[in-house]
């Protein structure tokens, strides 16, 4: 199997933009993606499972068992705005091969629904929290890079690990354009402030009406969800090990 897709619905989407929101440093992107899903009342239309996800179940506070999973949600928008596909989940794949399979399948699926643009979000590990975190970008091409810089981002220098980097890299060798938004974060706890800045920059590009005043509140709710998933501790511990080898900025 490696990677299987369970399609719940086949929505008609207008030139949708894929927004990558898998867990990474500071859970910036996870908070941002969950907030978008809630605020925009996004609808789940696909579930993705990979045999390269961890082989365990995580429990909720009620004893429910949850599998590692990725999901796709869509948001239909009016007035000629492009629709959105939000790629949300509680894990990335454990192996390189699994990451390629996962990212390739999601991009295949997004392209079937007419997608030509992808935005990945990530945390960029800093030693201390920044009151106004900087946002770094990399893009599939120089025109798109200019668009990202016009949003107030800086040029990313170095490697962008994991799905945040792979999605932009693989997009560049398909008929897809896109950029990454990598936000400064100390990275150890769900970082609501970094998520706020990510969503502001994303909102500027997407012309989004997301109410960010509720983010703090919604952020701690999200923190609770993540903690009951049990993944916060284990992911941050894994990260610590990996950081010893290479700087990490999913």
Restricted to residues 184-213, the positions that interact with a second copy (CB under 8 A) are: none
Distance of CA 154 to the CA centre of its chain: 19
List the strands of the sheet with 3-7, edge to edge: 3-7, 43-50, 70-75, 84-89, 17-21, 117-125, 177-185, 135-137, 154-155
For a second copy, which residue of 142, 209, 211, 244 counts as binding (CB under 8 A)? 142
Nearer to a second copy, 27 or 136 (CB): 136
Nearer to a second copy, 65 or 132 (CB): 65
Distance of CA 52 to the CA centre of its chain: 18
Nearer to a second copy, 129 or 151 (CB): 151
Q: Does 230 bind a second copy (CB under 8 A)?
A: yes
> DSSP state, 25?
G
What's the farthest any 2 CA atoms get from each other in the chain?
49
Task: Report the Cα–Cα distance between both ends of the chain, in Å, rounded.
Answer: 26
Distance of CA 40 to the CA centre of its chain: 16
For a second copy, which residue of 149, 188, 212, 225 counts as binding (CB under 8 A)? 149
CB of 181 to a second copy, least distance (A): 12
- Which residues would be at the binding site for a second copy (CB under 8 A)? 1-2, 6, 47, 49-59, 61-69, 94-101, 103-104, 137-142, 145, 148-149, 155-163, 165-166, 168-170, 172-173, 180, 230, 234, 246
């Amino acid at each position: 199997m490696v990677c299987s897709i369970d399609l719940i619905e086949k929505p008609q989407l207008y030139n949708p933009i894929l927004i990558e929101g898998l867990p990474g440093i500071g859970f910036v992107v996870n908070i941002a993606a969950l907030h978008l899903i809630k605020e925009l009342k996004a609808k789940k239309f696909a579930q993705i499972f990979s045999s390269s996800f961890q082989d365990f179940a995580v429990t909720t506070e009620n004893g429910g068992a949850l599998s590692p999973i990725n999901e796709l949600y869509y948001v239909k928008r009016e007035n000629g705005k492009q629709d959105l596909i939000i790629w949300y989940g509680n894990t990335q794949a454990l192996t390189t091969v699994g990451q390629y399979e996962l990212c390739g399948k999601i991009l295949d699926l997004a392209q079937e629904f007419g997608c030509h643009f992808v935005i990945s979000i990530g945390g960029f590990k800093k030693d201390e929290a920044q009151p106004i975190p900087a946002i770094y970008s990399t893009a599939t091409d120089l025109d798109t890079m200019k668009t990202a810089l016009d949003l107030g981002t800086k040029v990313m220098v170095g490697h962008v690990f994991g799905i945040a980097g792979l999605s932009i890299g693989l997009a560049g060798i398909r008929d897809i354009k896109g950029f990454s938004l990598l936000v400064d974060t100390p990275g150890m706890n769900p970082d609501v402030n970094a998520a706020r800045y990510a969503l502001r920059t994303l909102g500027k590009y997407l012309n989004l009406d997301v109410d960010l005043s509720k983010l703090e509140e919604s952020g701690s709710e999200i923190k609770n969800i993540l903690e009951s998933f049990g993944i916060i501790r284990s992911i941050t511990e894994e990260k610590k090990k990996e950081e010893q080898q290479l700087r990490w900025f999913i």
